[in-house]
Amino acid sequence: MKILHAASELFPLLKTGGLADVLGALPFAQLQRGNDVRVVLPYYPKVREALPDAAEVAVRDNFGGHIIIRYADYNGLGLYLIDAPHLFERAGNPYHDEHYNDYPDNVIRFGVLGWAAAALATGMDELWGRADVLHAHDWQAGLAPAYLHAWGVDVRSVFTIHNIAYQGMFQAYHLPELDLPWQMYHVEGLEFHGQISFLKAGLYYAGCITTVSPSYAEEITHEPAACGMQGLLQNRLEEGRLNGILNGVDEAVWNPQTDTALAKNYHLKAMQGKKTDKKAVQQWFGLPQDDNALLAVMVSRLTPQKGADLLLAALQDTLAAGGKLQFVLLGSGEPELEQAFRDLAAAWPQQVGVHIGYDEQLAHNLIAGGDAILIPSRFEPCGLTQLYGLKYGTLPIVRRTGGLADTVVHTDADTLKQKTATGFVFEEPSAAALAGVLTQALALWDKPRIWSAVRKQAMLQDFGWHKAAEHYESCYGRL
């Protein structure tokens, strides 16, 4: 099967979040199953640095400038790269400037991504020909199925929602600039609350819609999780065109036995290295190197969606109550939350360490060295860090929502007896509920043999990408 993915980022070439991890793993899993897989993404400066010799495939003068479609082989995966310096030659984040202001021409920048994906799927590269399936990811690639519809071509399309809260909303007067007809601008099409929604374009025109976990697929058919799209998604569910497929873990990148970022590797039958990694994290953050402390880590964007404000309040209560808790954070986001975590570290210098920013190696260090990993999200389409935590024996502490609900089993008397417990789960999105489950985790930490048994069960979980690849093939087959 010839599969073309369209996305705005791909790990490790460029990453701002979990979308990049998915595109850095799923296409390779599909290749291993014998498919002919390619990915189209913008030729950002970081991508150009990594792949400077990409060959020219096609040239178009469109969308306000000169656009070259290039091709490169990337570890056996074919990459189509949209070379348009007037759109993508910008330092830093691909979506916004250093002040977190969206680029004003994002409507064209990511319109071009959808257009290029549709053009390549319909044979722009004569050597590759037409794709069997065009698979577009999140709002940035949402116009790809719309272009297929506008051109009247019979290429099957799939649209994956990684986070429905980001909808790609732009003023309607941009429609002619996108080279799409006004006939598509209505409620049964691109229009959403008087604007163009790239996300809705993907939802409306794709033959199949997927989300990144089964629970999230159900949640987004109702408010508030639907973010205004509940009617369309309920229809798609009734038509059998909405499915939840759980993300996986790329074991070539996330494996405590082979991870080169770690101070010392370890595996289920030889866990001594985890203690070394814990001490390395404690040392990096200037915390006491105390084996008896429960080291809870968080690697996350600092936003209310991720429950960062809930965690602040819960930590203040838990730290004030005393006990063996240490906490370290790697993340960035809303300035007020960044400062609040800095203040927390200043108030509790022997128990709290904070690093504002992102560092891939440090992320691996935290997930390996931690005893528990916090993902207290208000909503979470899938979540990947809890999967990494399970893989590394770092027990997830999560809220029961989306993919977190699908992947973590709460530790209680019944699940301990059944040997299914893998972490800690709280229900309500409140600081009190989170503080309560932190207290449960600290209580279990005082029972090392039981903690080790839960950790073993966590590390035995299989969330490999081979499972997701098989499910996606079934989705493609139904089209």
Q: What is the pLDDT of residues 407-419, one digit of tens each?
A: 999 999 999 999 9
**Structure confidence at residue 445 (pLDDT):** 97
pTM equals: 0.88
Tokens of 113: 């991504």
Nearest to 315 by CA among 357, 289, 343, 291: 343
Tokens of 93: 């984040």
Give the pLDDT confidence of 269-317 residue by residue, as tens digits.
999 999 999 999 999 999 999 999 999 999 999 999 999 999 999 999 8
Same fold, 2-248+466-478 and 272-459: yes
* DSSP 8-state symbol, 238: H
Q: What is the mean pLDDT of residues 234-251?
A: 94
* DSSP 8-state symbol, 139: G
Q: Three-class SS of residue 229?
A: coil
**Structure confidence at residue 322 (pLDDT):** 82
Spans of all domains in the chain: 2-248+466-478, 272-459
CATH code for the domain defined by 272-459: 3.40.50.2000
CA-CA distance, 340 to 185, in Å (whole number)? 44
Architecture label for domain 2-248+466-478: 3-Layer(aba) Sandwich (3.40)
Give the pLDDT confidence of 185-201 residue by residue, as tens digits.
999 999 999 999 999 99
| Residue 376 pLDDT class (50, 70, 90 cuts) | very high
CA-CA distance, 333 to 335, in Å (whole number)? 6
**Structure confidence at residue 228 (pLDDT):** 95
Q: What is the mean pLDDT of residues 23-31?
A: 96
**Which residues, including other chains, have CB under 8 Å from residue 223's CB and lie 6 or more apart?**
230
Check whether 347 has a pLDDT greater than 80: yes
**Structure confidence at residue 99 (pLDDT):** 80
C-alpha dihedral over 216, 219, 225, 230, to 10 degrees?
A: 120
Q: If you search the block for the tokens 């598509």, which residue do you land on?
A: 184
Q: What is the mean pLDDT of residues 243-262?
A: 94
Check whether 92 has a pLDDT greater than 80: no
**Which residues, including other chains, have CB under 8 Å from residue 127's CB and lie 6 or more apart?**
none
Check whether 17 has a pLDDT greater than 90: no
Contact (CB, 8 A) for 356 and 378: no
**Structure confidence at residue 16 (pLDDT):** 87
> Could you tell me the CA-to-CA distances from 283 to 135, 152, 263, 328, 349 in Å, in that order?
44, 60, 12, 11, 13
**Structure confidence at residue 404 (pLDDT):** 97
**Structure confidence at residue 379 (pLDDT):** 92
| Residue 101 pLDDT class (50, 70, 90 cuts) | confident
CA-CA distance, 160 to 140, in Å (whole number)? 11
**Structure confidence at residue 247 (pLDDT):** 93
Q: Three-class SS of residue 53?
A: coil
**Neighbouring C-beta atoms of residue 466, cutoff 10 Å:** 13
List of E strands, 191-293: 191-192, 195-197, 208-211, 242-244
Per-chain mean pLDDT for the chain = 95
278 is in an annotated binding site: no
Check whether 98 has a pLDDT greater than 90: no
Give the pLDDT confidence of 388-441 residue by residue, as tens digits.
999 999 999 999 999 999 999 999 999 999 999 999 999 999 999 999 999 999
> Could you tell me the CA-to-CA distances from 92 to 15, 24, 44, 48 in Å, in that order?
11, 20, 10, 14
CA-CA distance, 461 to 386, in Å (whole number)? 12
Question: What is the DSSP annotation of 141-188?
Answer: GTHHHHHHHHHT---EEEEEES-TT---EEEGGGGGGGT--GGG-STT
Check whether 71 has a pLDDT greater than 80: yes
Give the pLDDT confidence of 223-235 residue by residue, as tens digits.
999 999 999 999 9
Using alpha carbons only, what angle is made at residue 80 by residues 172 and 155, rounded to the nearest 5 degrees? 65
**Neighbouring C-beta atoms of residue 403, cutoff 10 Å:** 27
* DSSP 8-state symbol, 14: B
**Neighbouring C-beta atoms of residue 228, cutoff 10 Å:** 14
Check whether 358 has a pLDDT greater than 90: no
CA 153 remoteness from chain centre: 31
Give the pLDDT confidence of 459-477 residue by residue, as tens digits.
999 999 999 999 999 999 9
| Residue 155 pLDDT class (50, 70, 90 cuts) | very high
**Which residues, including other chains, have CB under 8 Å from residue 258's CB and lie 6 or more apart?**
265
**Structure confidence at residue 385 (pLDDT):** 95
